[in-house]
Amino acid sequence: MIFLQPHDDQIIFAPKHFYNTEAAVVASGTLTGPDLAFPNNYYTIACYQDRKECVISDIEQVGHNQIGDLLAPLIFPIVKWTQGEVIAEDQAGLPSPVGCVKATITIERERQSVLWVQEPINQTQPGCQNSDAKVSKWTIEESPGWKRIYESPGWKRIFGNK
pLDDT reported for residue 96 = 45
Q: Which domains does the chain have, with CATH numbers?
A: 17-159 (2.40.160)
59 three-state secondary structure: strand
Helix (H) or strand (E) holding 144: helix 144-151
99-113 per-position pLDDT tens digit:
788 899 999 999 999
16-30 per-position pLDDT tens digit:
999 999 999 999 999
| More reliable by pLDDT, 147 or 5 | 147
pLDDT reported for residue 129 = 80
pLDDT reported for residue 159 = 79
| More reliable by pLDDT, 26 or 97 | 26
Which is nearest to 46 in space by CA: 67, 68, 24, 30?
Answer: 24
**pTM (2 d.p.):** 0.85
When pLDDT is cut at 50, 70 and 90, the band that residue 130 belongs to is confident
Number of H helices, E strands in the chain: 2, 10
pLDDT reported for residue 143 = 85
Strands 17-20, 113-120: pairing kind = unpaired
40-93 per-position pLDDT tens digit:
999 999 999 999 999 999 999 999 989 999 999 999 999 999 999 999 998 654
pLDDT reported for residue 91 = 65
